[in-house]
Chain A
Amino acid sequence: MSDTAGAFAANLAPAEVRTPEARVAGAMKGFVQEIGALSAFRLESCIHCGICADACHFYIATEDPQYTPIWKVEPFKQAYKREASPFAPVFKLLGLKRAVTADQLEHWQRLLFDSCNMCGRCSLICPMGIDVAALIEQARHAMFDAGLAPKELYQKAAHQRETGQPEASAEPYRDQLLEIGRKFGVDMPLDKAEAEIMLCVPRTDIEHYPSAVAALARVMHHLNASCTFRSDGLVAENYGYYAGGKEWQREISLRLIEQAIACKATTLLVPECGHAYTALRWEAADLYGKPLPFKVRHVTEFLADELKAGRLKLGHAGAGKTTFHDPCQLVRKGGVTDAPRTLMKAMGIELSELKNHGGFSFCCGGGGGVLDIERAAPLRYRTMENKLREIDDTGAGTLLTSCSDCRRTFDDAQSHFKWDKSAHSLLELVAASLASVELGA
């Protein structure tokens, strides 16, 4: 069974009787209906210059032309031209643009999911100003509708939609959260009826970095903030976003939105998780159908503002020469560039920037769900080499970041490459810095 056939088989609902071809046709129709004027303009504007390849770490690492970002949406350009473009009847009548086939998409499943972190670096290089990453996200929606999301992402999205957790765990995350509080000696604010700030947590932190969860609670306690986690809206990640399931993404986002409304929160605080920030900060309102009745802020933005307002005092971190990895979803796609640097400066950190940093930073390689796709690992490792080299070239002994999935990707690289560094959480450093202030006081 081919990967595509496998994906079809894995993703089809029991009652699904349509052939793969019929599902692809439906997905393409959905794609052109969803596309809207803005994305149509993006597709219309491409001049086939190929410059976007030079921004993509998958192309740079392999020099394989198929990893050219705009090529990753080629079948969807084809579908748009044939079905919805101003001259679609001409293209269709003369057979200039053929219908997209299931076989054609077999190849594109890997291009859209395994070899794209949705990092958006390609959107910064296009001389026509095309947001290629936005097109890729829409193409993922169509792949999901065609039953072609990779099984790891599909299954996690399905589980999260059903239960609120991407995977089953020995103990529910709620119980694990309380256990983390006990273990690290910090009170976990949970299920308060009302709070100004609703907190959520990356499941990556619960499973891999519990000290980061404790750090979040510790910092909020230090600020005496009115805040709470909510059992029914605990997980920050949104696997619907990764898998391309727009309706599932909406349902997963709704868990958090409804809980934030229920506890009358004025702020939903996104923890150290890049794609959760994109999903909640920039996409949730559209899926909700109206503006959110609360602010969505990343924890580093929130802390930087607390610092500026004088409510947060940070001690010297003593981290030595440090470099910082900018998570793509926070910086390039989210605009959270200065906040982490404000915090590092306040902690007296000697920051040695990467050659490509801020908005031009290379992705860690794990974003967009790629870290979860098992078969993508060899390609991911290949693309990471450049990133690790950049980090080594700074001469820094400490690597900080503000996204737990980036952190996990680096830790995986540490194990794979026997690399001599590991990534650390900026939030944990802030919490540690608070301890030194409290001791001093």
Chain B
Amino acid sequence: MDLLSFARGPALKVALVIFVLGVVWRIVGFALLRIRRDLSRPRASMWKFLSGGVIAVGTRSWPHPEFIARTGPGEALGYSYHLGLFAVVLLFTPHIIFLGSLFGFVWPGLPSSVITVISVLTLTLFLAVLFRRVTNPVIRMLSNFDDYFSWFITMAVMVTGLAATAHVGAPYETLLGLHILSVDVLLIWFPFGKLMHAFYIFPSRAINGAVLARKGAPS
């Protein structure tokens, strides 16, 4: 079995199983902890409680005006590379074909040349993110293995994907095999580290928004 067959055969299957089970367990594992009922008398109605949660999902997407001068550039950098990643993962035709085989439907993609430009830009932004992580004293202090490995494996997926598309450095099959193998590793790592924020971000915002709305406090 060659590298490509291994990467998109048994390795991918194992990775997907670990990914799905791991993600489910990571969510169920803490959701099984005690949920305390708040016995204080709410200020807001149930409607405001619920709508406060939904609104916070949107409002937390961008800093409040009071904070934007300090956090705007960092958040813009973060959102930019996320958008780049989404575009490359979801709008590159070979990815659409692969995802279509999993989900049973396909959607229109962007031309390869556009995806290449987006990939290079995203890769550059990703390097900037790492530079910021190691040079900003606050972020450097907070960072641990999870942050660096999550960065590394995502970067590996991007670099191998770009190399495979450009046919640079090795035969296409080898580069594609490395690309898919790096995706396998990413899927296996996903439930254990910070990549889980993809699943947490909206519920987390919604819960805090609802809790604050219950008090009539700003969120």
Chain A interface (Cβ within 8 Å of chain B)? Answer: 35-38, 40-42, 44-45, 47-51, 53-55, 59-60, 65-66, 68, 70-71, 84-87, 90, 96, 123-131, 281-286, 288-292, 295-296, 331-337, 356, 358-360
List CB contacts (< 8 Å) of B41-84 with chain A: 41, 43, 56, 60-61, 63-64, 66-67, 70-71, 74-75, 78
A37 and B138 contacting across the interface, CB-CB below 8 Å: no
A359 and B218 contacting across the interface, CB-CB below 8 Å: yes
Closest chain A residue to B142 by CB distance?
A48
Shortest beta-carbon distance from A111 to chain B in Å: 12
A48 to B140, CA, bound (A): 9
List CB contacts (< 8 Å) of B188-219 with chain A: 192, 194, 196-197, 200-201, 203-209, 211-212, 215-219
B56 and A129 contacting across the interface, CB-CB below 8 Å: yes
B207 and A65 contacting across the interface, CB-CB below 8 Å: no
A38 and B67 contacting across the interface, CB-CB below 8 Å: no
B30 and A40 contacting across the interface, CB-CB below 8 Å: yes
Does B170 sit within 8 A of A, measured CB to CB?
no
Closest chain B residue to A355 by CB distance?
B66
Contact of B217 among A55, A334, A356 (CB under 8 A): A334
CB neighbours of B75 from chain A (8 A): 51, 127
Q: Would you give the 0/1 interface string for B161-192, flagging 1 where the beta carbon is closer than 8 Å to chain A?
A: 00000000000000000000000000000001
A86 and B28 contacting across the interface, CB-CB below 8 Å: yes
A49 and B139 contacting across the interface, CB-CB below 8 Å: yes
Shortest beta-carbon distance from A132 to chain B in Å: 10
Most buried by B among A53, A129, A289, A296: A129
Does B33 sit within 8 A of A, measured CB to CB?
yes
CB neighbours of A53 from chain B (8 A): 138
Whether A130 touches B204, Cβ cut-off 8 Å, given contacts A125-B64, A286-B40, A358-B218, is yes
Contact of B204 among A45, A51, A292, A360 (CB under 8 A): A45
Shortest beta-carbon distance from A74 to chain B in Å: 8
B26 and A128 contacting across the interface, CB-CB below 8 Å: no
Shortest beta-carbon distance from A166 to chain B in Å: 24
A48 and B144 contacting across the interface, CB-CB below 8 Å: yes
Q: Would you give the 0/1 interface string for B126-161, flagging 1 where the beta carbon is closer than 8 Å to chain A?
A: 000000000011111111111100000000000000
A295 to B42, CA, bound (A): 11
A333 and B28 contacting across the interface, CB-CB below 8 Å: no
CB neighbours of A291 from chain B (8 A): 39-41
Contact of A54 among B29, B71, B143 (CB under 8 A): B71
B138 and A332 contacting across the interface, CB-CB below 8 Å: no
CB neighbours of B2 from chain A (8 A): none
A335 and B66 contacting across the interface, CB-CB below 8 Å: no
B219 and A124 contacting across the interface, CB-CB below 8 Å: yes
B40 and A37 contacting across the interface, CB-CB below 8 Å: no
Does B102 sit within 8 A of A, measured CB to CB?
no
B26 and A50 contacting across the interface, CB-CB below 8 Å: no
Contact of A66 among B39, B136, B141, B211 (CB under 8 A): B141
Whether A65 touches B194, Cβ cut-off 8 Å, given contacts A84-B33, A129-B209, is no
Going nearest first, the 10 A-B pairs with the smallest beta carbon separation are A86-B29, A335-B216, A359-B218, A129-B205, A285-B39, A50-B138, A129-B208, A40-B30, A54-B70, A360-B66
Closest chain B residue to A86 by CB distance?
B29
A84 to B43, CA, bound (A): 33
CB neighbours of B145 from chain A (8 A): 96
A292 to B38, CA, bound (A): 12
CB neighbours of A332 from chain B (8 A): 217-218
CB neighbours of A130 from chain B (8 A): 204, 208
B139 and A50 contacting across the interface, CB-CB below 8 Å: yes
A26 to B102, CA, bound (A): 48
Closest chain A residue to B34 by CB distance?
A36
A66 to B26, CA, bound (A): 29
A386 to B145, CA, bound (A): 36
CB neighbours of B25 from chain A (8 A): 86-87
CB neighbours of B1 from chain A (8 A): none
A211 to B201, CA, bound (A): 49
B207 and A281 contacting across the interface, CB-CB below 8 Å: no
User: What are 15 residue pairs bridging A and B, where the CB atoms are less than 8 Å apart in the complex?
Assistant: A36-B34, A37-B33, A41-B203, A44-B200, A48-B139, A50-B141, A70-B142, A71-B142, A86-B29, A128-B200, A128-B205, A129-B206, A285-B39, A291-B39, A335-B43
Closest chain B residue to A287 by CB distance?
B39
B60 and A127 contacting across the interface, CB-CB below 8 Å: yes
Contact of A65 among B26, B138, B208 (CB under 8 A): B138
